[in-house]
Amino acid sequence: MSIKEGERVYLRLEDGKNYLLKVEKGKFFSTHLGNIYFDQIIGREFGEEIYTSQGKKVYLFQPGIVENVFHMKRKTQIVYPKDLGFILLMLDIKENDRVIDVGLGSGAMCGALARLVGEKGKVYAYEKREEFISIARYNLSQWGWEERVEIKEKDIKDGFEEREIDALFLDVPNPWDYLGECWKALRGGGRLAIVSPTAGQVMEVLRGLQTLPFRETEVWENLFRQYKTNPSAFRPVDRMVAHTTYMIFSRKVLPSTLGFDLKEI
């Protein structure tokens, strides 16, 4: 696949430094290993290599979701890819799904959801802070998934406008206050995912879930460790991203099954 002008390219230098840039004719990008001239990139194939002005190799790759997330424009903390992938699986996100994303932030989770729901699916993203919405819109437009997302500048204390939603992702400081609204928005059997960084928040959520028609509740934490790829000195990398968040998952059941009164929700 030939690289076109205006396309975003993931560039990896010999020493492991990497950049995600949009290539434009006549321009260049300066690095500690020399300049990278975009005219050398346009028309090349992904997987090829070029050289900087200092003769150092630069490998050309098509960016994937992990590169997009780590290089995205942001003002907020993001859901790390090590957690993001597990959340997408636990929510069972697939083509044609209708999904709510609460706490849009810079758009990392929203973009991952939009990628999986496909052209006929929809992500309804709720965010009350306009400055975050503008950043998220920019990121989604860079990734090409903005048409799959409907952004709502709204406080969820007023509830959700959608019903019969397949899955809902909740990333707010006080998720226990909105569990009833989440239940109303989900379809029967719909999946809920909540991220909370502290144990106290998790315990408050669990107490709330016990009072509502939710079942199949689980709490997870992912601890991943990367390894150095030198075959002569194979060992863990010197630093590890350990605790990032707790992940709570649950599923909506119908109140008639459990004897709940809808008026209580």
73 and 55 together in one domain? no
Which domain does 30 fall in, by range? 8-63
Number of C-alpha atoms within 13 angstroms, CB side, residue 72?
33
**195 and 244 in contact (C-beta within 8 Å)?**
no
Number of domains in the chain: 2
pLDDT for 147 equals 95
Q: Provide the residue-wise pLDDT of the chain in tens; the chain has 265 residues.
A: 799 999 999 999 999 999 999 999 999 999 999 999 999 999 999 999 999 999 999 999 999 988 988 888 887 777 888 899 999 999 999 999 999 999 998 899 999 999 999 999 999 999 988 889 999 999 999 999 999 999 999 999 889 999 999 999 999 999 999 999 999 999 999 999 999 999 999 999 999 999 999 999 999 999 988 999 999 999 999 888 888 999 999 999 997 766 666 666 6
What is the greatest pairwise CA distance in the chain?
73
74 shares a domain with 59: no
Nearest to 83 by CA among 215, 202, 243, 252: 243
Task: Identify whether 225 is part of a domain.
Answer: yes
* 108 shares its domain with 127: yes
What's the pTM value of the predicted model, to 2 decimals? 0.87
Q: Where is the domain boundary, 40, 63, 86?
A: 63
Whether 117 and 242 share a structural domain = yes
- Do residue 37 and residue 150 come from a single domain? no
Identify whether residues 27 and 105 lie together within a single domain: no
224 in any annotated domain? yes
CATH number at residue 54: 3.10.330.20
The pLDDT value given to residue 77: 74
The pLDDT, as a whole number, for residue 174 is: 96
Q: Long-range contacts for 170-177 (Cβ within 8 Å, ≥24 apart)? A: 170/102, 170/103, 170/194, 170/195, 171/79, 171/102, 171/103, 171/105, 171/109, 171/195, 172/102, 172/103, 173/201, 174/201, 175/201, 175/205, 176/201, 176/204, 176/205, 176/207, 176/208
Write out the two tokens for 101.
Answer: 């994303």
Q: Which residue has the tokens 């630093």?
A: 239
In the block, residue with structure tokens 């879930």: 209
